[in-house]
Amino acid sequence: MNSSNNILDSIRIVLVQTYHPGNIGAIARAMKTMGLNELYLVDPREYPADEASSRAAGALDVLDNAIVVESLTEAIADCTQVFATSARKRNYTRPQVSAEEAAGWIKANPNEKIAIVFGRERMGLSNEQLGLCQQLLYIPGNPEYDVLNIGSAVQIVSYELFKQFGLHRDDLVSTTETSSIEASAESEEYASQQDMERFYQHLESTLSDTGFLVKNHPGEAILRLQQMFARAQPNAKELRMLRGILGSVDKLTNKT
């Protein structure tokens, strides 16, 4: 099992299409303050940038080690559990948890590779990007003014993680929300996002060959299937079994 410090080291913060480079620097500072250091930047508008460096203060090492990728799929490919973030609850078919509950879930599942995804300053995450995530992490606030700066959002989430893994004072660590799920800590690791994407491609191909899907218009059916499997969160062993089932169907349809 990973130690608390190792868990913090392995939690990835992902920023999607960040508009202001200063926000990237401020987020690096917020992360380092709370013991986080793994930062991925998905298609940032302007980076590297002097403004990012100046806002990072003493967290230039986090910026220097940040990895820039073109898509969210790349950023989370090796992750087994991905949290999308939002300022409020949404019409979302997957589990919705507060920042504190998310930290508790991560504590109860210490062997998972975690990514926490933050969207664009003005528009957040697209529906397609939300579809790549297993859980929605929301930060409750004033319902009449739920506009939260992205740097503040990262700071809040980072603090909840630090409470769970960076501190050792019982009066600061909340366990009420997590006691019922502690038993899952030793369960087999979830399948990685990369493996899930390969499974979805295989699933769509097989269902098209059987005639269940119209090849050029898989439409809503495949999306609903993806949502169903995302809710189920199969582990690596279960995913191999599902791929085996698809392979058997492929043989029956004479697929080469």
Q: What is the pLDDT of residue 190?
A: 84
Instruction: Give, for all 256 residues of the chain, the pLDDT tens digit.
Output: 455 557 898 899 999 999 999 999 999 999 999 999 999 999 999 999 999 999 998 999 999 999 999 999 999 999 999 999 987 666 677 889 999 999 999 999 988 999 999 999 988 999 889 989 999 999 988 888 878 899 999 999 999 999 998 764 443 333 334 433 343 444 577 888 899 889 988 998 888 888 888 766 666 788 888 878 888 888 888 999 999 999 898 888 875 4
In terms of CATH, what superfamily is 4-186?
A: SPOUT methyltransferase, trefoil knot domain (3.40.1280.10)
Q: What CATH code would you report for 193-252?
A: 1.10.8.590
Report pTM: 0.74
CA distance readout (Å), 210 to 182, 184, 197, 214, 219:
42, 37, 20, 10, 16
Retrieve residue 123's tokens.
């528009």
Q: Could you state, in order of their start, the residue ranges of all structural domains in the chain?
A: 4-186, 193-252
Check for a shared fold between 4-186 and 193-252: no
Is residue 17 within 8 Å of residue 45, measured between CB atoms?
yes
